A and B are shown apart, each in its own frame.
Chain A
């Protein structure tokens, strides 16, 4: 059975923390996560977080909103009960398209924004009653925490890198048992 140690590298500032992350990655150690009190610019590529796919979701939600609004207005105002729009002919959707554009736009934005927010909240599991996942409450105040899960050999290397780059504390938070893959 393989074991991994859980290591918390605690920093007081984001600049040495970034530097430490760069060095860790350069020596082949995977940075599992970083917890910080505020968003640190440029951190994602340093610790190897892939680019967000939220934009693709937003596009799909937006297209959905456009289609829904178009379908709704076509059904209500042209098909089911042709409405008199400023005395203009209403035999087809495209005759009155300027009148439909604001609603199409609003619906697109509505669906894209709400879809994106909900996707984000669900993906991060930020739901009512969810338990806080940050390993050290000080990361919500003024500390930056590099979270690592490493085997013994890597742990020694990481320990030295963290301390050399100005980590205030390196805390060992127990071991993690990993079931071997059969």
Chain B
């Protein structure tokens, strides 16, 4: 980690972290509120220094298919967009998952549906963790709640993606993308040589060598017997991810009677709401899922025996609340509070909702 402290936007932190991680290629198309990612990359011109390719594609569809091409060669490749653009990429994401290609995707969410608004939202939770594209697949999903985590999750995302040969997504929103905070960027790493990539990714289509059969990257398998085996292999891999990679943060849960569950920017709002609640004498804590898939069901389930209720706070119509209800399984009260359409709730609203829906209900 670099010792120097910078003040920058979350979007800018992602761009700088990508260059420093030794990413080979970024392909993207501008859209608010994440355009600073490609702007920062273009400004930094890493093709002159690390050799990283930065390309503004003609569309989001082109971007995601360029990612498919780069990932097939074992390269560290990524794209970023915001909600409507990510919708356009869903076919490609399903193909990436079906071809078991590692890559990093970034969704700086805005309010939908449709073109919606350019203001922050968390309404792509379902799309990201329950599917989005077609077929039985999963996206490793990381939800940063600070500019520092925007920088840190670039390397984490690539590590997990390559560990499991699966696309990883940073699911964030206009608040974290646009806000400036202090950040320490990671140290520069050299980009991998072709030899290193061949060693790390023996499956990569970098050109056949005499000692092996040709590598084929495809999601197509017309023989259902074989395709089912592929599906079983994917599912086994997903169970491994669920076993090993659940990440979450517990805040003041030890003595809590009530627990907020919130991710990303909503978790920052809840952190303040917890302080306000405790000033009034209510023992409130929070579980913040850091991975949205795999989801931290177990820890929520364990607290379900101890607390009087959970409130999810989400910038959507109530999506993650379904996973919290699955985790709690009827043991105690689970309610949702949120705002939609690009409205960001304040900490006082979150606390008022906790009182109305849980504490005094």
Asked if chains A and B come from one complex, the reply is no
Which residues in B have some Cβ–Cβ distance to A below 8 Å?
none
A residues near B (Cβ < 8 Å) are none
